[in-house]
Every structure is written in C-alpha cells, then in structure tokens.
Structure 1
C-alpha cells in the first residue's frame, strides 16, 4: 500500500549524473549518499509502512508556508519513529514539475529525515499536484528506491488551496497501482475563487475511500500541526484500514475449497491446483493486503493452510504446488460449512471475504444451509463445476445472482477459462459495494 504527501518545495536529491537527473525530475544533492552521524534506530515495528510525502513548492506557497510544511514533515517523522524495521519515508516536491527530494532508502532515522528536510528550498512555478502523483506512481515505490514487499505503500498529498492541474485521473491510476492516497488540504478556495479550481471537489475524488478517513481538511496553515499531525500518524499506522488501492483484487481474504474426491483423480487434482495458482497470481499477497487459505474436501474437509500461513505470493504458490491429493466422497455442504468456520470465523474490518469452491459432482449432503449462512455473514461465494457437477446445485451454492457467481466447464483442462471471469466478477462486486 502507498502513502502520498504533497508539499511544494525545492530540489535536493540526485542519483545519477546531473544532466540525466534534471531530465528525470531528480534534483542533484544528497540522494544515494546518506551520512549517518549516529547509530541508526530501528523504528516502530508496529507501523511497517512505506510513505511518500508530496510537498507543495510552487510560487504561491511563500517562505513561511513552505517552512510550515517542512516542520510538519519533520514532526511526522518524529511521531512515526522512522527506521528500517518500521516506517520509511521519502519526499517528492512539486511545482511546475515534480522532483525526488529523497527516496525510501536514503534516510533510516527520524533525525536523518529532519536534517534532509532543513536543506529543502521551494521549486516555484504552478502547483501541479496531478503531475506529481503520476511521477510517484511511475517511479517512487520500486525495489530500487527502497520499497519493501509486504509494507503498505501510502502517499500523503499536502495541497495549499487547490492544485493548478487535475488530480482525479492520476490518483485513480495510483490507487490501481496499489497506493493508498491521503489528501491534506489547507485553506481551501473561497466562494468567489471556486470557479478558478480546475477540478471541484478534487480531494474527495482523488483520495481513497472512505474519504472521511483519507481526506483531512485543515482550516489554516497555523493549525496544520495540531489539526492533522496526530490524526494522520494514527491512520498511517493502521494497515487493516489501508485497503484503498488493491481495489477489486487485493483488499480481500480468499478461501479456496477444492474437491479432492475419487472421481477427480491425481492428474485432474493437479489441474485444480494450477487453477488455484492462476487465481492467486492476480493478487498481491501480503498480511495487509490479499490473503489466501485452502480447504480440500472429500467425505470430510481438511484445512491445507489458513489465511495467515503464507505472507507472500511466492510462498503461497510453493505451498499450492505441495498440496497432496486426498481421494474419497463428495460432501460439499460440510466443506462449505467448514471453510466458513475455519477461514472466516468473524468479519475483518476493511477486508472482503470471498470463497471459490470447485467440485466435479453432486454433493452427498445438503448445500443449502451453509450457503445461506455464507450470505448471512456477507461472504461472497463463487461455485465452479466440472464434468458431472450439477448446475442447479452450483446455483444454490453461489451468491446471488447465480449468473454472476456460478460457472461450469465440461473438462478440467477448461478451468483456466474461468479465471478471468471470476476475477472480473470479483471486481464487479467491488464496484457495486456501498460507498461512503
């Protein structure tokens, strides 16, 4: 997940020769050559996030407000306790064009961040926050820049009044790339200035949902620290709420329920596992993002691994490859009930619960009671049938409308065709969810 903070300021950092850096929007300076003067603190392990602060350095900001922004960032670094096992922080400054001030890998302590902030000077020009968001999406959250797998990516955009360009489309692309976008807006436009704003209600459009969590309006620059510092620090360190990005696919817990009965056979069971792997490859698996658990069933269900067992996509795929075929009967109702109890014992705030059940025949037991229980709990169920599965039974298992959540193929080799259809249905369900 990603955090963005936009502030208008001057350039300081560089990673390449100066001519190349200028073209890339990176300012020559200290980037890539940090000089720690004291032992490096480890940071707060309860706040493992990667943060991008986008600061406003436009001509309209002025020295006083630019200094307030720098002080706000310094206080944030201190409040969050920057360190390699906790939050990491980088800064992009925007004016006419954006520039990297320093990346996530440059400074490993709050003190080093504060010293770097002191050197920053404003860039000038217009307040093009939209260009800065695009710049961040393309280049900031990469492994080369210090981004850590599994750490939420958060961007906090600080805006003086209103941006000079449009931010909605750029922010949507950032969210789809996995960045959680906060907007801190200070001294919004007066009534007679609103016609000058290129994108009315820009913060609500660009910030993640719910906007009451991701957007922080501040009445004046003098009130920035006392109004936004602690609320923002608390929200940044709540990974269970940072589900904005990953929109349709990565804000969910996915339970896979696979038929291991005798009629499936070892070869077809390997095809079932490839189907499960294909679904999993579409997810960004991490403790704060998508999690996947697996149940195999015959007469009885068996938990192969729970939602918390694998903390990365690579680990999950290895585990799927190692699942053994069981063989037995087909008690689909019992398997569905077991999956609800073991994978989804209780609702998790900010996280959707999805079950994908695959069977190749008619169930020995009644599937209706556990299917109704899944609906009562708000668990979305997809039912996939192969060869001898009964379409009417798939419709009973699947969440309504069955046309969107029940699928049938006549051969195991055709299961791969269902993967894009299921993923699209998951995204369609997400788009229809109640907004704020």
Structure 2
C-alpha cells in the first residue's frame, strides 16, 4: 500500500494515520518567519541531538525558502542561549542545512523560559524579522523546563508569534501547553526516532492558512456508522464527537454541505437524510441524539443500503455535480467480509467517494477495499480516544477533495 504511516501526536501519542503522500508536498506561497528553538541540554544524547538536526533540515526541505518566501532561523538553548543563525542570514536550503550540520551541542540545564524570552527579539525588524508576515516559533525539548515558561510564552504570543511545542521522551505536557497556548499546537513523541514520522505533518501544519483549504464548502456527506455490539457506550460517544467535529469543520446549508447519518449493525437504518437539516446546529444536535443499535457488523449490507440515500429524493445533488462522500466508521471485521467489493464498487461507479475510517480492531484490508485502494481516503487509529482528533487530518483531505470545480466523478486532490 502506498500510504504513508504517520504518527500524529498532540495529546494522543499512539495513533497511526494513513495519509496521502501528495499532502506532504511543499506548500505554495507561504511567506513568513520560522524560528527553531531547540533543547541542547546535557540530557540529550549525541545521536538524539543529530535527530533533532535532521528533523529541522527535513522541515526546511519541505518549505518554500527564499528572499520573499519563508525565512528560517535557529537558536539552541540549555541554561544559556546560543543563536546559530537569524532569520535573514540565509536564503537557501543548502546554506541552512550546512549551518545546522555545523551546530555543536551545548550541554547543561534546561532553562526553556529564559530561552523563549531571549528568542523574542529575533522576530523584530532590527534582527531580520518581518512582523507584518506570519511568524512562528517551533520549540523542541526532551524534558521538564527548570524555569517558568507560561509568562515568557504568553508575552511572545502577544507579539503575534504562533508557538508550536514538540516534546520528546520525558517532556512535561503541561508545560508544552503553556508554551503553545493551544493543544492543537502541541506534539508529544515517544522517542527521538519518532520525530521522523512528524516531519511531513509539521511541514503541512506550517502552510499558510489563508491559502490552504480550511473548510469543505459544498458536498453531500453521509456517515455510515458501525453500531455493533462490540462498540461500548463510551466508544460510541467518541464516534459522535468525531462526527460533530467533522460537521463543525464545514459550511452547512441547503446550498452548501449537507449531512446524513446511517447507523448499522445486523441491519442498516437511515437516521436522517441529506435534505433533513439545513443548519450546523441541527446536524450536531441530531448526532448527539443517536443511539447505538447493537448487533453484528454487516458492513457490506450497509454499503448497499446507503446507495439510495445519495439519490435526489433524499437530498443528493449528483446532478449538480456536487461531490458525494460516504464516510464509513467501523471498529471491527465485517461479518459479511466477502460482500464488500460489489457494493463498494457500485457506490464508486456512481461517483460516490468512500472514506474508510477504522478504529482499534478494524481490518485494514477491508478499509482499502471500500475506498477502492485509494490511500488518501483510508484512515486508521488504534483507539477511540484518538478518533476524536482524527478529524483534523480527514478535514484536509476532504477539503481538497471537494474544492470548487471538482465533479463528483473526478475527485483527484490538489496539493495545498
């Protein structure tokens, strides 16, 4: 399978996502300032220090570097701070990579708060910064700060600098949140090897939000939700939160994005159709009221059942070339596993794009069958807590899939 196995951390360091490699291409037109602030204390082994250097070089390689594009600077810290190069010193990837290669580890303690205060000045015009553009600081640390980080970080964010906090090994997650000010800008990794899995995701995160596709504007989306007996109440609640998050990332309306929900176990049942609700709040409320049906996992039967609910009489807009998407959420092996190919093919032949979302015991081969072996539409997380934040990754693919001008039968993605 051509998918890239990628680890998304945040508060959930154990989820593995299958993400289309086309999403991992360099972003377009993203002028801004990026400073790396890396922990160079004595607790970091030499091979780990090298992996941080490799991480920085990889993120730079995936960015658009140039005089009028992205500027990058690097500072390292322990109980002292050492600027390696500022934002306007180099304008080529090769020069930056060479400078990073020549860095030497400092050793000593971990005064992260002092380092954040010190690095602030390098975002100023006098030191090569461009405050009129997007400015970002990426802090990478492996342990607990020995000083206070909350106020220095808040002061820097007040200047308009966005802070990303990457914690490795024994990093203090409370401090990481204090540094970033937002859980969606916190990444925690189990070890320094895992940094490599994070490279492409961070590069994508750094894309310009004004030019990036952020919200699905127009689509027909039906959630086909496994409600079999293996799904406990808490797991079902996680599925509801995931769906609500997906809805919140779209523009809902009669002429915009429409949603429907089908619950299935032994049999499938449409709870509401694409033309039932016209507001985001109505859809969110209806999802909150869902009840799990329990029973076996007849996914093939449910796929066949769902086809008619994309028809015009149920609110489908295929005739208007509105993209149509079936989002299958399942946690296990299909009871009718030999009956997946035909209904999946029929749906796709009708121009319906199938997103396969598997949790815990889901069979990845079956997920691929449903999506038509399109790796950009296959997602897997190994626990239900992780499902609740998966929407961030799916939203990006979904948004690109449904950009204006794409017909429901031509759903190739653009890189963003």
Superposed pair shares fold, TM > 0.5: no
TM-score by length of 1: 0.42
Structure scoring higher RCO (CA < 8 A, sep ≥ 6) equals: 2
TM-score by length of 2: 0.44
